Amino acid sequence: MATPLTKLYPDALPEAAQPLFINRDLSLIEFYRRVLGEALNAELPLLERVKFISIFSSLVDEFYMIRIGTLREKADGNNAISADGLTPSQQLDQIRENLHQMVAEQTRCFRDQLLPELRKNGIVLLPYSSLSSIEQQHFAEYFKEQIFPVLTPQAVDPSHPFPYISGGTLNLGLYIRPELDKRVRNALQLRAEEIFVRLKIPAFLPRLLPVPGRNETFVLIEELVKNQIALLIPGAAAEDCHEFRITRDADIELRESEAADLLEMMEQNLRQRRFGDVTRLEVSRSMPEKMCDYLSESMEIEADEVYRIDGLMKLSDIGTLTKLARPELKDRPLKVSRPGLLTDDVSMFEQIRSGDILLHHPYMPYSIVTDFIAEAADDPDVLAIKICLYRLGADSPIPPLLIRASESGKQVTALIELKARFDEGNNIEWARKLEEAGVHVIYGLLGLKTHAKTTLIVRREGDGLRRYAHIATGNYNPETSAAYTDLGLLTSNPDICADASELFNFLTAYTRPDEFRRLLVAPINLRTRMLELIEREAEHARNGRPARIVAKLNRLADHEIVNALYDASQAGVSIDLIIRGICTLRPGIPGVSDNIRVRSVVGRLLEHSRVYYFSNGGREEVYIGSSDWMPRNLDRRVEVLVPILSKELREYLRSSYLETYLGDNVNAHELSTSGNYLKVTGDDAVEQQLAQEHFENDERLEAALLASRSKLSNVANI
């Protein structure tokens, strides 16, 4: 049973009857609702709305791949009530109710709003029946040459059991009546008049097929296949075919303690993931009840996990429309500029020695980071490069730079996290290439994911060695850096760089340092220090000193951290949280969290940076890095937070960066005590403040960087 607030916090007002925590999965689904809200927003450019429809579809897919299986297991014979007051079965019921409503809203939005608007703007998804005879002839030839050879209809009969259905792909289902004489039918042991046939549409085939001679006009591949079905199954017709799709559980348990070879185990895990339990069945509205029931029974799917889609299925594919050259239907391009102090004629190492450099992506180009690594790869005075790689991407320029450095005789160490979910394949492929080039490749630690975003460069300078570090909130993935907001720090501070060396020794040889000088590292000292910093603010408040916490992160779901924030709120600490997704903290509870405010910003960019500010009685501390306030980040991952030692850069992050997000009245939502998010709207007399556009012309960061260098405050003690 959930502990009532009045027992945990005797001073709380009696009406505070709700549970202390918001359910983490329901909170995550509320984030999905905010993403869907962007697709529903008629004020956004049309192709931006299409983008958000596609993102929402992918998020729901991922939820069914990752969370539903876990919740099902908990619900089987487990009636334990969690801290938010719900049993696992109740959680599943509420999740399904919410997702069914939201998916229906998504379908209506695309069908009734976006498709007509796309047509008005000359972007057309044309029904196959609307094609001219010449166009139909073109597609008939295309089908024979490009599609027919890779299709394989699979009948279900005594000699063909119900087939394996891969997750995520589109399928057509139909019943056929084989025209066989009695002897053949008896030989095949066919008893039923009708036989079910499944036809998979492979994912490597394009979903949208351009209509020749018609600009930005497309036919859906499933429409073409249905209209050519008679070539595969004589006598079948388009109206006999009905789309369906399944989602499988991809959260396969890793038994790392039993693994002799982590790389081999991950390759086996990727193969095993294809055969996870079915967690969802989507069927077209036209599918007969008989066929829907047959599929549900064959794949052991409950009725509340069946989605009838009254429109297009797998809307994540429609995101390809956003690649069309239609700038008038998209957000204007972001203004990206390189800081004036980073000139091509001055070495990056010299610039970093002059003072710490705070990077803000995508407003600053990610090429600054790749240039830093490229200069290190080519500099004859650089002796060693060490880097943590979590999500690389198939075309990342960073591994080739590491290969170049290794081939030039430098000692290069790359820690590649093989367990980065859904990027395992890319990471495994890069790991093999790096190893073949002589790079020392480390596959992370058993039992821990290495999520830290850290690079260390060791360079010979004069008679000694100097170290340089890059510590960031985002992955070393230039592709995602254009769509994610992230921060990074380039520094040669001796304490930070010495800590980075200790970190890599811990990762490569399990040498655990007694104490880090500056860095906060999970699972070593990050949780303990965060709790100490929160409690220190509470103590300042109790003693009448300035006390404030502002934290910007992706997810908050750690009960120990939440309780510490509740205690700080009661002590009088003013707390502002800017949280993109999950937040299990319930703000505004009288006597418990009435000094805590929570907001979420959802816009054209994915908010990904993590910043932690503590006023500390006037002696401010600010940290940036890879970690959220989640149990997995604090206890089961290697994470790094780095302090901002420059007074000017700390002041920038507090007074400009964080305050800009707190002042957003366009893309922000505020979390209510009930767990709902309410859109923040500015007063008519108040100018619109849009954080993600504000940073395009951010002269204050440039000024802070210059001021920091003039005072050499990057080595100041806090």
Domain 520-715, CATH homologous superfamily name and number: Endonuclease Chain A (3.30.870.10)
Which tens digits make up the pLDDT trace of 401-447?
999 999 999 999 999 877 656 566 677 787 888 888 888 988 877 77
Rounded Cα distance between 541 and 553, Å, is 24
C-beta separation of 589 from 563 below 8 A: no
Q: Are strands 124-125 and 217-220 parallel, antiparallel or unpaired?
A: parallel
Q: Do domains 348-509 and 520-715 have the same CATH topology?
A: yes
Helix (H, G, I), strand (E, B) or coil at 578: strand
Rounded Cα distance between 571 and 164, Å, is 58
Fold of 122-255+276-329: polyphosphate kinase like (3.30.1840)
pLDDT at position 458:
98
Tell me the average pLDDT across 56-78.
86
Q: What are the helix (H) ranges across 16-143?
A: 24-40, 46-66, 68-75, 88-108, 115-120, 133-142
Domain segments of the chain: what residues? 5-90, 122-255+276-329, 348-509, 520-715
Q: Which residues, in sequence order, are bridge partners of residue 465?
A: 460
C-beta separation of 588 from 25 below 8 A: no
- The values of phi and psi at residue 690, to 5°, are -115, 105
pLDDT at position 7:
44
Q: Which residues, in sequence order, are bridge partners of residue 180?
A: none
- The values of phi and psi at residue 592, to 5°, are -125, -60
Fold of 348-509: Endonuclease; Chain A (3.30.870)
Q: Are strands 278-284 and 306-309 parallel, antiparallel or unpaired?
A: parallel
pLDDT at position 191:
53
From the list 645, 552, 123, 158, the residue with the least C-alpha distance to 357 is: 645
In this predicted structure, the answer to whether residue 558 has a pLDDT above a threshold of 90 is yes
pLDDT at position 573:
98
pLDDT at position 6:
39
C-beta separation of 629 from 555 below 8 A: yes
Comparing 27-31, 131-135, 159-163, 212-216, which segment has the lowest mean pLDDT?
159-163
In this predicted structure, the answer to whether residue 518 has a pLDDT above a threshold of 80 is yes
Mean pLDDT of the chain: 88
From the list 558, 662, 682, the residue with the least C-alpha distance to 613 is: 662
Between 256 and 689, the more confident residue is 689
| Phi-psi category of residue 522: left, alpha or beta, with phi > 0 → left and psi -120 to 50 → alpha | beta
Which residue out of 242, 360, 361, 451 is catalytically annotated? 451
pLDDT at position 698:
86
C-beta separation of 573 from 595 below 8 A: yes
Whether 608 is a known active-site residue: answer no
DSSP state of 164: P
From the list 304, 313, 309, the residue with the least C-alpha distance to 95 is: 304
C-beta separation of 664 from 695 below 8 A: no
pLDDT at position 717:
36
pLDDT at position 113:
97
Assigned architecture for domain 5-90:
Up-down Bundle (1.20)
In this predicted structure, the answer to whether residue 369 has a pLDDT above a threshold of 90 is yes
DSSP letters along 293-305, please?
HHHHHHTT--GGG
In this predicted structure, the answer to whether residue 263 has a pLDDT above a threshold of 90 is no
Comparing 275-284, 396-405, 440-449, 653-662, which segment has the lowest mean pLDDT?
440-449
pTM: 0.90
